[in-house]
Amino acid sequence: MNADTEVPPIVEMRGITIRFPGVLALDDVDFTLRPGEVHSLMGENGAGKSTLIKALTGVYGIDSGSISIAGERQTFSTASDAQDAGISTVYQEVNLCTNLTVGENIMLGHEPRRGTGIDWRATHAEAARHLASLGLELDTRSMLAHHSIAIQQLVAISRAMVLDAKVLILDEPTSSLDRGEVEQLFGIMRDLRDKGVAILFVSHFLDQVYEISDRITVLRNGALVGEYPVAELPRDALVTKMIGRELADLAAIASSSHRDIDRSGTPVVKATGLGRRGVLEPADLEVYEGEVVGIAGLLGSGRTELVRLLYGADRADEGTVEVHGEHVRLHQPRHAIDHRISLSSENRREEGVVADLTVAENIVLGMQARQGWLRKIPKKDQDAVVQEYIDALGVRPANPHALVGNLSGGNQQKVLLARWLATAPELLVLDEPTRGIDVGAKADIQRKVAELSAQGLAVIFISSELEEVLRMAQRVVVLRDRKKIGELEASTTDLDGLIDYIANAGEGSAA
């Protein structure tokens, strides 16, 4: 850590205020970024993180306040002004051209010339040099689209280096990376930090924030809460500062989840030897009434694949499924829904919400699909159901006619939860229901799921956050390398035990 306060700051934002019609998005916020530090910007959705970043990158103009870069007062009116001042941004959704090669993307607009044309050999050589300086070895002539999101992000960082960035903004870069990829990214971030680059990091993952950051700035409701060195801000203090209320809520959820489940009767759903070649080795899974079964494992371990096979989203080529002891064939989502099984996909945007329809239409969609198109649900019944779930889950804005695409991630997730609960399922499968959403919405969703399971709903709960899985579930199914490796009782397992099981269980024995 060389981020001592003596170093003159590279970015100084003072008294930043931004107004949108009817909303004070940022209210007199200060933010300081020093060379050679990783600085995390924390806050719930709507706290003003994105707005602050957009002010710094020239996307939004500021209504009052000042921005200085390396001591010089700047007014950015476009994003390219900010780029010229040495500020580069790597977004969650990579903004590169996936149909160009890696080298073309890195060097775009800065290709070495030969005569009137581009010297492709030199272009690729230089791209390779930039990649090598980040410790990456890639074929620069391969298409960007053929690489994983993780590699694409690293390419985006290389591109930022070509632009000679002094400030690198990483907005949720890790949300679709697995652990190894995160480690690789962090290695590169540390390298750049040691070379004097100032890095602004935004992530929902507290572990990652604590692992990589030197300093944390917390925002809440558009206002600055404070700036803290990481060592002086314990986790629960951070979360309390972010949400402005105590963690008693989450503790209450945990205690309500820890109860005994009667597994003597017939399970609600029982899958035996469910698998598909190249996707998942045959696995057993059973869920009883009122039980929350967690599924844990690394990204790509087969968690999503298992529930998609169960739901009929993908066709299983072996195995059987029983619902209340009766054999059923679930070859399409329709069949699963007819047997009162619902799946909320991990991919909220692509496979969840219908963005251009309203909140009400999205909530009713599941019920209406189940009824068939001929029997339209009467307007009055629709309104009643929609209002009930908007209230019960606290969807914001509480406007049934708002387009879902305009809602924040957490509220979209609540709308999806409402869609599925409205179909009165007996088994609810939630794949990463809390990914990328703020702590408040997360607590709302967890509380609702815990409450419903206490009333008898069977739930399968998948999450990358193992604390969350342990908090919600009574039993945890563990997968590794597209294979089920075992089950644990949540009451007799702690976090370290679960991590150890995921990493080491079954090594060399059952395999």
Partner 1 sequence: MTAVYKHRLFWPIVSLLTLIAINAIARPQFITITMRDGELYGALITILRDSAPLMLVALGMTIVIATRGIDLSVGAIMAVSGAVALTIIDGSGDPDALATVLIAVLVAVLVALILGMWNGFLVTVLGIQPIVATLVLMLAGRGAALLITGGKITTVNSAPFKWMSSGYMVALPVAFFIAVAAIIVIGVIERRTALGVLTEAVGINPEASRLAGVRSRGIIWGAYMVSGALAGVAGLIYASRTSAADANNAGVFIELYAILAVVLGGTSLNGGKFSIAGTVVGVFIIQTLDSTVLFLGIPSAQSPVFFGFVVAVVVVLQSPRMRSGLANLSGRLRPRGAGVQDREKAEVA
What is the binding site for partner 1 (CB under 8 A)? 20-23, 25, 45-46, 48, 50-51, 311, 313, 332-334, 337, 343, 345, 350-357, 361, 365-366, 368-377, 402-403, 406-408, 419, 423
Q: Looking at beta carbons only, is 118 or 377 nearer to partner 1?
A: 377
What's the maximum distance between 2 C-alpha atoms anywhere in the chain? Answer: 80
- Bridge partners of 89, per DSSP, are 169
Min CB(202)–partner 1 separation in Å: 15
Pairing of strands 280-287, 269-276: antiparallel
Q: How far apart are CA 127 and CA 110, in angstroms?
A: 10
For partner 1, the closer of residues 46 and 275 by Cβ is: 46
Supply the minimum distance, in Å, between the C-beta of residue 315 and partner 1.
Answer: 13
The CA-atom distances, in angstroms, between 112 and each of 123, 126, 165, 252, 510 are 6, 9, 19, 61, 56
If the CB atoms of residues 442 and 475 are measured against partner 1, the closer one turns out to be 442
- The least distance separating partner 1 from the CB of residue 372, rounded to whole angstroms, comes to 8
Which residue lies nearer to partner 1 by CB, 44 or 111? 44
Q: How far is the CB of 347 from partner 1 (least distance, A)?
A: 8
* Contact assessment for residue 60 and residue 52, using Cβ atoms and an 8 Å cutoff: no
Q: Which is nearer to partner 1, 262 or 350 (CB)?
A: 350
- Using the minimum distance from each CB to partner 1, give the nearer residue, 48 or 103: 48
Cβ-based nearer residue to partner 1, 230 or 430: 430
Phi first, then psi, for residue 346 (nearest 5°) are -70, -20
**Cβ 406 to partner 1, closest distance in Å?**
4
Peptide bond connecting 397 to the previous residue in cis, omega within 30 degrees of 0: yes
Evaluate whether 411 touches 218 at the Cβ level (below 8 Å): no
In this complex, which beta carbon is closest to partner 1, that of residue 308 or of residue 475?
A: 308
Q: How far apart are CA 78 and CA 67, in angstroms?
A: 14
Q: What is the CA radius of gyration of the chain?
A: 25
- Residue 314 or 388 with smaller CB distance to partner 1: 314
| Least Å from the CB of residue 80 to partner 1 | 20
* Min CB(312)–partner 1 separation in Å: 10
What sign for the dihedral angle of Cα 414, 415, 419, 424? Answer: positive
Exposure string over 57-84, b if 16+ CB within 10 A, otherwise e = bbebebeebebebeeeebebeeeeebbe
* Nearest-angstrom CA–CA distance, 386 and 375: 18
The gap from C-alpha 258 to its chain's centroid, in whole angstroms, comes to 26
Rounded CA-CA distance 206/434 in Å is 14
Least distance in Å: CB of 486 to partner 1? 29
Are 213 and 431 contacting, i.e. CB atoms less than 8 angstroms apart? no
DSSP H/E element including 342: strand 341-344
Q: Retrieve residue 156's tokens.
A: 């985006």
Give the residue with the Cβ less far from partner 1, 228 or 461: 461
Q: Of 423 and 453, which CB lies nearer to partner 1 in the complex structure?
A: 423
Q: What is the rounded CA–CA span in Å between residue 212 and residue 42?
A: 13
Distances (CA, A) of 458 to 178, 292, 293, 452, 455: 28, 6, 8, 9, 9
Taking the complex as a whole, the smallest distance from the CB of residue 395 to partner 1 amounts, in Å, to: 12
State in angstroms the smallest separation of the CB of 362 from partner 1. 8
Output 363 or 485, the one with its CB closest to partner 1.
363
Q: Residue 52 Cβ, how far from partner 1 at the closest point, in Å?
A: 11
One-letter amino acid of 482: R
Give min distance, CB of 4 to partner 1, in A.
Answer: 35
Separation between Cα atoms, residue 411 and residue 258, nearest integer Å: 27
Q: Which of 289, 290, 292 has its CA nearest to residue 324?
A: 289
